[in-house]
């Protein structure tokens, strides 16, 4: 796999971006997102501090937080602790997702196991909300959850830290032995063959 060609983001060659440009384009959701000692609303609006209350509520709804927030006496004004004290890992991940959804100008979304702390039913419900929002973004997702394959245009297969194959999920299911083994090992993968 020899690299060839140019890489651009919205028509701008990547070699012309400086670090500040990148920081304004990228939103990152790690497995364990950082939650600030502040209100839920302030945590959601971290990337977009001038967001209106309506925008914050919409982002919370899209991230699957609306029922949780509605059950709190102070709603979005509820204080949560540093590092997410007082909320679950799944709620912290959804707050991080809400941050990303609230700041529409960030064109690149980096997800590192973004739903790792969610039960599968909650994850699948959130996936239905998230996938239409991928449309105008470059989404890079590190995941072991096979059901995400059905919404990916391209999959990069890693083996012991090395890139060993690239292709659509359908093509990889046909010709990549490592991909096929991974799918079998993780138990499933019917989405990859569709």
Tens digits of residue pLDDT in 38-70: 999 999 999 899 999 999 999 999 898 999 999
Of the candidates 89, 119, 105, 82, the residue with the CA atom closest to the CA atom of residue 29:
89
Q: What is the pLDDT of residues 28-38, one digit of tens each?
A: 888 888 999 99
Number of domains in the chain: 2
One domain for residues 71 and 33: yes
Tokens of 77: 């004004």
Does any domain span residue 42? yes
One domain for residues 55 and 98: yes
What 183-189 contacts at long range (C-beta under 8 Å, 24+ apart), as own/partner pairs, is 183/146, 186/144, 186/146, 187/146, 188/146, 188/147, 189/146, 189/149
The answer to whether the pTM exceeds 0.85 is no
- For 73, counting Cβ atoms within 10 Å of its Cβ (0-12 exposed, 13-18 middle, 19+ buried), the class is exposed
Please report the pLDDT score of residue 90 as a whole number.
84
One domain for residues 49 and 77: yes
Does any domain span residue 49? yes
One domain for residues 117 and 153: no
Please report the pLDDT score of residue 4 as a whole number.
62
Q: Which domain holds residue 56?
A: 21-142
Please report the pLDDT score of residue 160 as a whole number.
87
Q: What is the pLDDT of residues 142-179, one digit of tens each?
A: 988 888 888 899 999 988 888 999 999 999 999 999 99
Name the domain boundary from 142, 157, 180. 142
One domain for residues 60 and 70: yes
């Amino acid at each position: 796999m020899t690299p060839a060609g140019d890489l651009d983001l919205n028509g701008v060659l990547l070699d012309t971006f400086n670090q500040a440009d990148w920081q304004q384009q990228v939103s990152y959701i790690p497995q364990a997102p950082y939650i600030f000692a502040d209100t839920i609303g302030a945590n959601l609006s971290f990337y977009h501090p001038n967001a209106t209350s309506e925008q914050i509520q919409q982002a919370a709804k899209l991230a699957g937080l609306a029922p949780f927030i509605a059950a709190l006496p102070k709603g979005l004004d509820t204080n949560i602790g540093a590092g997410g004290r007082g909320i679950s890992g799944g709620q912290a991940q959804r707050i991080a997702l809400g941050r990303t959804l609230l700041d529409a100008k960030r064109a690149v979304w980096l997800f590192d196991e973004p739903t790792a702390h969610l039960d599968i039913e909650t994850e699948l419900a959130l996936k239905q909300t998230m996938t239409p929002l991928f449309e105008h973004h470059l989404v890079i997702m590190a995941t072991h959850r096979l059901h995400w394959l059905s919404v990916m245009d391209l999959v990069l297969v890693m083996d012991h830290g090395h890139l060993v194959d690239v292709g659509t999920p359908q093509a990889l299911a046909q010709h990549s032995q490592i991909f096929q083994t991974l799918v079998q090992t993780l138990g499933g993968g019917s989405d990859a063959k569709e």
